[in-house]
């Protein structure tokens, strides 16, 4: 039986992304060239020497700085996704799962991360939902760079946010855990809100909103098991939504919410 050799996976990925040769990586990690080649193939990436990289297998997504699509997708993963171990021998995380009842959201994130695959989950017959799933150690490692961790609801701490387009990231978590509604009482009003179970995300989102519209809004509810931030003042709602949707496109937004925003402010 071949002995399993434990090596520093994060270091291997870092050197691979930097274009280091197999010989150099083997020397740094104190293993053979064969071990490096086998481990790269197991990770879904090809050796640097003599092979052409595959953009899907190499997991060339989420290498900082993130573009608009990736920033939005990161927000979706924070709100509707999870990262977990798939019983890997080296203990590394590899499974990524994003769940939503909105098929358009799942289709968009799969277009951004092609290694994800779509499933229709009917475990609850009355409430079917869609899932985008994959097993990719490289992608999982890069997500951890931004603070994505298992069982993140109460423990998440975002990192390296200076490498992310923050308005598109906020829109991602808003598309996952936020709402946009039009009131029917008297004159129509557009109201937007965000709900989270994480005290950290409550503070993170609140502070980022303040940089856009100031601290004029105070509609924040700290419940027993949830936190809610709402923007009601119409001038501030438009200011915030304009900021979120700036430079967005169909590939990186939830059209159901965007169309409501667009039609409200572009009435004929």
In a domain, 44, yes or no: yes
Among residues 103, 109, 115, 118, which one has the least CA distance to residue 72?
A: 109
Domain assignment present for 194? yes
Do residues 189 and 241 both lie within one domain? Answer: yes
> How many domains are contained in the chain?
3
Handedness of CA 124, 131, 200, 170 (dihedral sign): negative
Query: Could you tell me if residue 135 is inside a domain?
Result: yes
Write down the pLDDT at residue 123.
76
Antiparallel, parallel or unpaired: β 189-196 and 178-183: antiparallel
User: Of the candidates 119, 153, 187, which is a domain's last residue?
Assistant: 153
Q: Which domain holds residue 221?
A: 174-265
Residue 100 bridge partners (DSSP): 130
Are 42 and 98 members of one domain?
no
Q: Are residues 199 and 236 in the same domain?
A: yes
Do 252 and 234 share a structural domain?
A: yes
Within-domain flag for 82: yes
Tell me, yes or no, whether 110 lies in a domain.
Answer: yes
Q: What angle do CA 216, 219, 225 make, to 5 degrees?
A: 140
- pLDDT per position in the chain (268 positions), as tens? 445 678 888 888 888 777 777 888 888 999 888 888 888 777 766 554 444 443 444 456 898 999 999 999 999 999 999 988 765 555 566 789 999 999 999 999 999 998 888 888 877 778 889 999 888 888 888 999 999 988 787 788 999 999 999 999 999 999 999 999 998 776 789 999 999 999 999 999 999 999 999 987 768 888 888 999 999 999 999 999 999 999 999 999 999 999 999 999 997 5
Do 255 and 235 lie in one domain? The reply is yes
141 and 185 in a common domain: no
Residue 227 phi, psi dihedral angles, 5° rounding: -130, 135
Q: Is residue 159 part of a domain?
A: no
Claim to verify: residue 50 and residue 89 sit in the same structural domain: no
Are residue 203 and residue 184 in the same domain, yes or no? yes
Task: Identify whether residues 231 and 260 lie together within a single domain.
Answer: yes
> Cβ(14)–Cβ(138) under 8 Å?
no
Q: Kindly report the CATH number assigned to the domain that includes residue 200.
A: 3.10.28.10
Burial 154-180 (b: 16+ CB within 10 A, else e): eebebeeeeebbebbbbbbbbbbbbeb
Residue 1 lies in a domain: no
Residue 29 near residue 7, CB atoms below 8 Å: yes
Does some domain include residue 116? Answer: yes
Q: Of 71, 80, 7, 82, whose CA–CA distance to 43 is shortest?
A: 7
Rounded to the nearest 5 percent, the helix, strand and coil shares of the chain are 45, 20, 40
On whether both 87 and 147 belong to a single domain, the answer is: yes
Last residue of a domain, one of 37, 59, 81: 59
């Amino acid at each position: 039986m071949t002995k399993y050799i434990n090596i520093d996976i994060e270091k291997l990925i870092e050197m691979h992304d930097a274009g280091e040769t197999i010989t150099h990586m083997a020397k740094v990690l104190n293993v053979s060239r064969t071990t490096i080649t086998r481990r790269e193939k197991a990770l879904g990436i090809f050796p640097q020497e003599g092979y052409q990289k595959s953009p899907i297998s190499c997991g060339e997504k989420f290498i900082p700085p993130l573009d608009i699509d990736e920033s939005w997708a990161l927000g979706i993963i924070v709100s509707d996704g999870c990262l977990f171990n798939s019983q890997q021998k080296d203990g590394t995380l590899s499974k990524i799962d994003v769940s939503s009842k909105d098929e358009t959201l799942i289709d968009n994130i799969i277009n951004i991360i092609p290694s994800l695959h779509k499933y229709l989950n009917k475990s609850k017959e009355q409430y079917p939902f869609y899932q985008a799933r994959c097993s990719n150690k490289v992608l999982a490692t890069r997500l951890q760079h931004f603070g994505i961790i298992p069982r993140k609801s109460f423990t998440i701490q975002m990192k390296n946010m200076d490498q992310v387009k923050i308005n598109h990231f906020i829109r991602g978590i808003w598309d996952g855990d936020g709402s946009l509604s039009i009131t029917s009482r008297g004159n129509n009003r557009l109201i937007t809100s965000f709900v989270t179970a994480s005290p950290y995300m409550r503070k993170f989102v609140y502070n980022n909103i303040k940089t856009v519209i100031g601290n004029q809004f105070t509609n924040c509810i700290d419940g027993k098991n949830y936190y809610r931030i709402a923007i009601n003042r119409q001038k501030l709602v438009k200011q915030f939504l304009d900021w979120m949707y700036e430079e967005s496109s169909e590939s990186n937004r939830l059209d159901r919410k965007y169309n409501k925003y667009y039609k409200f402010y572009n009435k004929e």
